[in-house]
Structure 1
Amino acid sequence: MVDINKVRAIDIHTHAEEPCGCHDDDGYDDLQSTMAKYFRAPWEHPPTIPETAAHYREQNIAAVIFPVDSERETGYRRYKNEEVAALAAENDDVLIPFASIDPHKGKFGAREARRLIADFGIKGFKFHPTMQGFYPNDRLAYDLYEVIAEHEAIALFHTGQTGVGSGMPGGNGMRLKYSNPMFMDDVAVDFPEMKIILAHPSFPWQEEALAVAQHKPNVYIDLSGWSPKYFPEILVRYCNSILKKKVLFGSDWPMITPERWLSDFEQIKIKDEIRPDIIKNNAARLLGFS
């Protein structure tokens, strides 16, 4: 189990990857290689979960890690939640497992969520509206949200445009409209006890994300997917003031390394007394470590 007093940071947003070659029949490797060029990622092949754990252990950083279940919309077969959870358990000194279930699975998906929470200790669920092809406030997802809320787990939603499919024909078929954070306002109203994280600076809807997080007590923002040096001024201002207890360090590993993100974070105008909360303490409270 993660010793929260020993790690220097908590990365709330990292992706689980299978060994290279598992997806050469469905196009996933092409997506990953294109994204790696976009982000200038420092690897030839995506790191496996054990390799991810080793990297984070070396950096003395804990990490929330998850797959993305988008096989219905994209055709990319999913990395099974059980496999991710089992590997995370083998590295539980640094890895905190989340799962991912396509909301289109309805009650079947809700049953899977219950089982994952009971059998694997899953603390949260990752949603990617752009890759999964759904509006977050669509009632088709509500059976799944009910389970998450009931078990006091976390729902983490991709928002905005962060480079997934960027430059590929038709954006690789991915529609940006699904990831407008304003759709999360309905979810926050309908599930006021469910902890919600809006992932990434939400380009081009940054102010919508800030408004929802400020207005709804159960909504947080993670800062993954962008180098901090590119953060819009209004995001930095809110980090330093109204949302200082509701913003979370996230890298978007393996596209951005945690050490690169943290180094760039040191260069932006965040108040010194607020930095520890963003890097670690806010996430520790949200995850129930403190």
Structure 2
Amino acid sequence: MIIDFHTHIFPPQLIAERQKYLADPCFRLLYSSPKARLAAADELISEMDAAGVDKAVIQNIGWTSHELCVRTNDYLLEAAARYPGRLIPFVAVQPLAGNQAINEIKRCAAAGARGIGELRPDVQGFDLGDDRVIKPFVGALVENSLVLLLHADEPVGHAYPGKGSLTPGVLYPFIAANPDLKLALAHWGGGLPFYALMPEVGAALKNTWFDSAATPYLYRPEVYERAADLVGETRILFGSDWPLLGQRRCLDELKTLNLSTQTLKAVLGGNAAALLGLAND
């Protein structure tokens, strides 16, 4: 089974009225260029069918507005209900909204959400070290058995649209302070796996997974092999970042590597199935 852990879809009305949403900092950061593609659920299903992808996690983005979180969450939940067994919703919240965010977490969990993401604290304006905001937020995630997916940024290397300040130095204290939270870090955690040889870091990452979204834009393909050596094959989640990148391109790159059948099966879907509590057919 192949599970793409990192895709993005948007409501058709939002796509049609794109310019209206550029006032939101996160949406503007990612989609101010007309070349940045937006897509809806039907297009994703067509892509999955063509690429041989069985299931996809549909991610929201880090909206600053609580109201926009709710509005777009409704679409992701509806899309997942329309394509049962194919689409797995990860919804968005604005933790600064306090009790409204907690209630939205509970509402979405009851409606079938499996996680929260892709959040961007640096863009949404909340501090991962602010206990007043983070403790109730993380508590609600743990209580509702939800995975948190955070965007992650490399502290070195080339600039690109969307690159921010959520680097390993910011992420690690949050991970260490919240050992019961199941956390997935996008884009290889900004390189955090390469610190796992430090004993204290490796120990803290026991509940942390790393997705491979946008790998062709960030790393050479052998990053899969090196990360498997450093954090273990069970901690890697295949992700394309569709529609930024085509699923087939990402799958073809992965399958050219010298990975064992066991590792390839784990990365392509087994690890995601275990993390999300899905049957791994």
TM-score range, shorter chain: 0.7 to 0.9
Q: State the one-letter code of the partner of 2:43.
A: E
- Map 1:13-28 → 2, pairs under 5 A: 13-19=6-12, 20-27=15-22, 28=27
Q: Is the 8 A contact 1:160 1:205 kept in 2?
A: no
Measure the CA separation in 1 of the matches of 2:85 and 2:49.
8
User: Which residue is 2:256 aligned to?
Assistant: 267
Measure the CA separation in 2 of the matches of 1:216 and 1:151.
21
1:277 aligns to 2:270 (yes or no): no
5+ residue gaps, structure 1 = 1-7, 38-44
Measure the CA separation in 2 of the matches of 1:226 and 1:257.
12
Counterpart secondary structure, 2:58: strand
Measure the CA separation in 1 of the matches of 2:96 and 2:62.
11
Counterpart secondary structure, 2:39: coil
Per the alignment, do residues 203 and 236 of structure 1 end up closer, same or farther by CA in structure 2, a change over 3 Å counting? same
Q: Is the 8 A contact 2:56 2:86 kept in 1?
A: yes
The partner residue of 2:177 within 162, 168, 190 is 190
TM-superposed deviation, 1:207: 2.8
Q: C-alpha offsets along residues 15-36 of structure 1, whole Å, 9 cap, x if unaligned?
A: 1223222221242578426384
User: Which residue is 2:150 aligned to?
Assistant: 157
TM-superposed deviation, 1:77: 4.6
Measure the CA separation in 2 of the matches of 1:123 and 1:267.
31
TM-superposed deviation, 1:135: 3.2
TM-superposed deviation, 1:274: 1.0
Counterpart secondary structure, 2:6: strand
Q: Is the 8 A contact 1:10 1:279 kept in 2?
A: yes
Measure the CA separation in 2 of the matches of 1:242 and 1:167.
26
The partner residue of 1:96 within 75, 79, 88 is 88
Q: State the one-letter code of the partner of 1:236.
A: E
The partner residue of 2:112 within 115, 121, 124 is 121
User: Which residue is 1:32 aligned to?
Assistant: 31
Counterpart secondary structure, 1:261: helix
Counterpart secondary structure, 2:18: coil
TM-superposed deviation, 1:167: 6.1
Per the alignment, do residues 94 and 232 of structure 1 end up closer, same or farther by CA in structure 2, a change over 3 Å counting? closer
Computed over aligned residues only, the root mean square deviation of the Cα atoms, in angstroms, reads: 3.1
Q: State the one-letter code of the partner of 1:96.
A: I
Counterpart secondary structure, 2:98: helix
Per the alignment, do residues 82 and 210 of structure 1 end up closer, same or farther by CA in structure 2, a change over 3 Å counting? farther
TM-score (norm 1): 0.78
TM-superposed deviation, 1:228: 8.1
Q: Is the 8 A contact 1:240 1:271 kept in 2?
A: no
Q: State the one-letter code of the partner of 1:260.
A: R
The partner residue of 1:143 within 136, 150, 166 is 136
Across the two proteins, how many residue pairs are aligned to each other?
264
Measure the CA separation in 2 of the matches of 1:250 and 1:88.
18
Measure the CA separation in 2 of the matches of 1:98 and 1:65.
6
User: Which residue is 1:111 aligned to?
Assistant: 103
TM-score (norm 2): 0.81
Overall identity of the aligned pairs, in %:
25
5+ residue gaps, structure 2 = none
TM-superposed deviation, 1:88: 1.5
The partner residue of 1:255 within 237, 244, 247 is 244
Measure the CA separation in 1 of the matches of 2:271 and 2:29.
36
- Of Structure 1 and Structure 2, the greater helix share is in 2
1:47 aligns to 2:39 (yes or no): yes
Counterpart secondary structure, 2:116: strand
TM-superposed deviation, 1:160: 0.7
Q: Is the 8 A contact 1:26 1:77 kept in 2?
A: no
1:81 aligns to 2:80 (yes or no): no
Measure the CA separation in 2 of the matches of 1:248 and 1:210.
20
